[in-house]
Chains A and B, each alone.
Chain A
Amino acid sequence: MTMGVHEIEDAKLIFNFGYNGADSHPIVQRRIVRAKQKGATIICADPRVTECARIADVHMQLKGGTNIALVNAMCNVVYNEGLVDQKFIDEKTVDYDAFVEVIKKYTPEYAETICHVPAETIRKAARMYAKAPSAMILYGMGVCQFGQAVDVVKALGSLALMTGNYGKPASGIGPVRGQNNVQGACDMGALPNNYPGYQNVTKPEIQEKFEKAWGVKLSNKVGVPLTHVPQRVLEEKDPKKQLHAYYIFGEDPVQSDPDAEEVREALEKLDFVVVQDIFMNKTAEFADVILPGTSWNEHDGVYSCCDRGFQRIRKVLEPPKGVKLDWEIICEISTAMGYKMKYKNTEEIWNELIDLCPNFAGATYAKLEKYGNIQWPCRSKDDSDKGTVVLHQGKFANPDGKGKFYTADWRPPQELENEEYPLSLSTVREVGHYSVRTMTGNCRTLRNLEDEPGWIQMNPADCEKLGIKHGDLVKVVNKRGWCITRCNATERVAKGATYMTYQWWIGCCNELTIGSNLDPVSNTPEYKYCNCRVEKLDDQAKAWEYVNTEYKSIRERMGIKMVGKEAV
């Protein structure tokens, strides 16, 4: 994020694009609600009537998979109606002309034919955004989980550039990142191409710095992205490029990755699988070795918030007997593999890390303790450097200091609706259940609110056509797989589109999602678009019997102790 999460409350205008805070991050949504109460204008682009869409001044209910057409059309309006910040463009940006060439074609009328948002609504939203004294863009997985995702991020960034919405309070662009500390995972270099602090593994001077610090020879080759794993196991012919072993840490790819059947095949074929997690899960069923890890309240550490804010976390519970801390496990594995890794505590690890990352260098434990939250860049250990709330003040992070315009032509999603599979399917989130159900599925009150086999959200007109009612069990199927779930008839979704949350073991939509259409830059899969068919199940009693038997069997496999009526 170029801003701080706390700034959301002070926004004059929030353009919320493909981000459903109420379900993903209720505490961020609270800030959006407060901003609205304080008079902020809210524009929401989402194919569903989300809680944010409901309180928005303008809701653009676009068809899924058409994001960039809508953004280009908004840019087109801003350009054609002379609403640009020309001074900002002239002084602080490059590549404007090439960008304008692309957006010229995207008149609101043309975009309407692609994204089904009325041209006048697009005009209204574009004018509101451009005329606001400062405007903030928040986006989420509704932008990122498409085959064309990074293009849309850049197009949204360009909309902010052409209106001069950077470098000032409560402006800029914010990916409200999906999971707790996913920003931290990236910051710490848990990416195939970076060391900690976004330092590229292919740069010789960076390689040399880390080799010197660690006293070991390091590779200058980019690693394998998570989403390439199945292909590198199942299809790669070159034995040198094939994957043979897989160490999975705090992740359940069988549940969370697209095309679950393909993931299972890959795990089956791998020679060696290690899983480090706090509970048994579907992926751990394929593990040769399971390393029991510690949960968030059983160890110390630092989390990064989506706005680059580092915060300390502290141990409040003793881990179960015999369970080692995650960082101790990593140290022991490393030592066993020939590199002696030894630390006394997390502060010692942190100190080594910040000294190797110029952007984090000033974020010492002492300062985190004192200020609670430090947003990087924080480059100086001097107490006066309290981090950076607003990025790109004065100049941008590119080597020439300029903001770079970019957009692209719209590409449709890979797998469209057809006669056999007439509906679209998108994965979404629901409040109460976090990510896969490893943690929240074990919380009894959250299970009381929502439990297996989950729901498929459908427009009532589509339900009527199929002769199904709200609450009926249905079969959702496409060429990759199927699952059983309940029908949620709701006018919050458009005709022809369906939505499922991805954490359920039985109502498992990742049996259907598509793993082959990755964004070429981010390698993120197209979780937000594939086709499907919903089938009515005439024998509901039999279907419920299937659900209950299956649930019991999975819980047994997961080692969940069942008592009382559940044990029967």
Chain B
Amino acid sequence: MRQFVKGNPDLCIGCRTCMIGCVVEHEGRRIFEIDPDGYDFNPKLHVVKTAKVSVPVQCKHCENPACMAACPVGCIKVINDAVVIDQKECIGCKSCMQACPFGVIDVISQVGTSQSDGSKRVVANKCDLCVGTGNGPACVRVCPTEALKLVSEEAMQESVQKKRVATAEAAKAIADAMAD
């Protein structure tokens, strides 16, 4: 079962530190040194605020990813058990963006690249769990209220097991009540 990062709206204060943490992790420290137009600010997660909720949303790293199925050039791959877009191969067709039921894929213009007409390349962008950095997801690390958690297979299993036990105990309680 693939891991994913999950936001908790009861803890989130909408500060968007996660979005900055994400960009800094993917751009590296050079973000503080290079010319302001030397990088694009393209967070791979987004804090959504409505009347009732504030929470970051990002890729769920589905087991059967609709984005992967929709990609005509096969540039969405599983790397280290994370669903990752290979932006070098992406043709910017937006199929994945439309296919994703959670709205967590963007298309972004990529700095330092150009296509045949000289304009910047536009590619798909989404959470990659900071795969390859060796640090784990930056958003989880930087959140001041610990509102983001990396949900592992073990954590999922543990939570499901707890719910199963609760369901079993509820079944017993119902049976006892009916016997009365």
Determine if chain A interacts with chain B: yes
**When the two chains form their complex, are residues A33 and B23 in contact, meaning their CB atoms are under 8 A apart?**
no
B104 at the interface (CB under 8 A from A): no
Which of A21, A55, A565 gathers most chain B CB within 10 Å? A55
Set B12, B15, B35: member contacting A563, Cβ < 8 A: B35
Residues of A within 8 A of B23 (CB): 445, 448
- Count of chain A to chain B residue pairs whose CB atoms are closer than 8 Å in the complex: 69
A93 at the interface (CB under 8 A from B): no
**When the two chains form their complex, are residues B14 and A566 in contact, meaning their CB atoms are under 8 A apart?**
no
**When the two chains form their complex, are residues A54 and B15 in contact, meaning their CB atoms are under 8 A apart?**
no
The segment out of A22-30, A291-299, A303-311, A319-327 that lies at the interface is: A22-30
**When the two chains form their complex, are residues B37 and A566 in contact, meaning their CB atoms are under 8 A apart?**
yes
**In the docked arrangement, what's the CA distance between A490 and B48, Å?**
12
**When the two chains form their complex, are residues A445 and B20 in contact, meaning their CB atoms are under 8 A apart?**
yes
Residues of B within 8 A of A422 (CB): none
A466 at the interface (CB under 8 A from B): no
B19, chain A: closest CB distance, angstroms: 7
B135, chain A: closest CB distance, angstroms: 18
**In the docked arrangement, what's the CA distance between A432 and B54, Å?**
16
Residues of A within 8 A of B51 (CB): 49, 490-492
B36 at the interface (CB under 8 A from A): yes
Residues of B within 8 A of A563 (CB): 35-37
A383 at the interface (CB under 8 A from B): no
Residues of A within 8 A of B37 (CB): 563-566
Q: Please encode chain B, from 23 to 38, with 1 for each CB lying within 8 Å of some chain A CB and 0 for all others.
A: 1100000011001111
**When the two chains form their complex, are residues B31 and A445 in contact, meaning their CB atoms are under 8 A apart?**
yes
Interface size class of chain B, counting residues whose CB lies under 8 Å from the partner chain:
20 to 34
**In the docked arrangement, what's the CA distance between A30 and B145, Å?**
6
**When the two chains form their complex, are residues B50 and A491 in contact, meaning their CB atoms are under 8 A apart?**
yes
B110, chain A: closest CB distance, angstroms: 15
**When the two chains form their complex, are residues A33 and B16 in contact, meaning their CB atoms are under 8 A apart?**
no
A37 at the interface (CB under 8 A from B): yes
**When the two chains form their complex, are residues B49 and A492 in contact, meaning their CB atoms are under 8 A apart?**
yes
**When the two chains form their complex, are residues B15 and A566 in contact, meaning their CB atoms are under 8 A apart?**
no
Q: Please encode chain A, from 479 to 494, with 1 for each CB lying within 8 Å of some chain B CB and 0 for all others.
A: 0000000000011100
CB within 8 Å of B: which A36-65 residues: 36-37, 49, 51, 54-55
**When the two chains form their complex, are residues A445 and B41 in contact, meaning their CB atoms are under 8 A apart?**
yes
Set B15, B32, B41, B54: member contacting A26, Cβ < 8 A: B15
**When the two chains form their complex, are residues B54 and A444 in contact, meaning their CB atoms are under 8 A apart?**
no
**In the docked arrangement, what's the CA distance between A27 and B16, Å?**
13
A493 (CB) vs chain B CBs: closest residue: B51
A449 at the interface (CB under 8 A from B): yes
B180 at the interface (CB under 8 A from A): no
**When the two chains form their complex, are residues B14 and A564 in contact, meaning their CB atoms are under 8 A apart?**
no
A494, chain B: closest CB distance, angstroms: 11
Residues of B within 8 A of A29 (CB): 13, 145
| Contact (A51, B54) CB under 8 Å given A444-B36, A445-B31, A445-B41 | yes
**When the two chains form their complex, are residues A22 and B24 in contact, meaning their CB atoms are under 8 A apart?**
no
**In the docked arrangement, what's the CA distance between A36 and B12, Å?**
12
**In the docked arrangement, what's the CA distance between A491 and B107, Å?**
28
**When the two chains form their complex, are residues A26 and B13 in contact, meaning their CB atoms are under 8 A apart?**
yes
Q: Specify the main secondary structure of chain A where it touches its partner.
A: helix
**In the docked arrangement, what's the CA distance between A68 and B32, Å?**
47
**In the docked arrangement, what's the CA distance between A227 and B6, Å?**
47
B88 at the interface (CB under 8 A from A): no
A431 at the interface (CB under 8 A from B): yes
CB within 8 Å of A: which B142-162 residues: 144-145
**In the docked arrangement, what's the CA distance between A49 and B54, Å?**
11
| Contact (A566, B36) CB under 8 Å given A432-B16, A448-B23, A449-B20 | yes
CB within 8 Å of B: which A409-457 residues: 431-432, 444-446, 448-449
**When the two chains form their complex, are residues A54 and B36 in contact, meaning their CB atoms are under 8 A apart?**
no
**When the two chains form their complex, are residues A27 and B144 in contact, meaning their CB atoms are under 8 A apart?**
yes
**When the two chains form their complex, are residues B50 and A564 in contact, meaning their CB atoms are under 8 A apart?**
no
**When the two chains form their complex, are residues B54 and A54 in contact, meaning their CB atoms are under 8 A apart?**
yes
**When the two chains form their complex, are residues B19 and A449 in contact, meaning their CB atoms are under 8 A apart?**
yes
**When the two chains form their complex, are residues B13 and A51 in contact, meaning their CB atoms are under 8 A apart?**
yes
B11 (CB) vs chain A CBs: closest residue: A33
B33, chain A: closest CB distance, angstroms: 10
**In the docked arrangement, what's the CA distance between A445 and B16, Å?**
11
**When the two chains form their complex, are residues B36 and A30 in contact, meaning their CB atoms are under 8 A apart?**
no
**In the docked arrangement, what's the CA distance between A491 and B23, Å?**
29
Which of B15, B20, B144 gathers most chain A CB within 10 Å? B15
Set B31, B38, B144: member contacting A564, Cβ < 8 A: B38
**When the two chains form their complex, are residues A444 and B32 in contact, meaning their CB atoms are under 8 A apart?**
yes
B24 (CB) vs chain A CBs: closest residue: A445
CB within 8 Å of B: which A6-34 residues: 21-22, 26-27, 29-30, 33
Residues of B within 8 A of A27 (CB): 144
Residues of A within 8 A of B13 (CB): 21-22, 26, 29-30, 33, 51, 431
Residues of chain A whose beta carbon lies under 8 Å from any beta carbon of chain B: 21-22, 26-27, 29-30, 33, 36-37, 49, 51, 54-55, 431-432, 444-446, 448-449, 490-492, 563-566
User: 12 more A-B contacts (CB under 8 A) besides A446-B20, A564-B35?
Assistant: A26-B13, A29-B13, A30-B145, A33-B145, A49-B51, A49-B52, A431-B14, A445-B24, A449-B16, A563-B35, A563-B37, A564-B37
A-B contact pairs, 5 of them (CB 8 A): A27-B144, A432-B16, A445-B23, A490-B49, A566-B37
CB-CB nearest 9 A-B residue pairs:
A564-B37, A448-B41, A491-B51, A22-B13, A564-B35, A565-B37, A51-B13, A431-B15, A445-B20
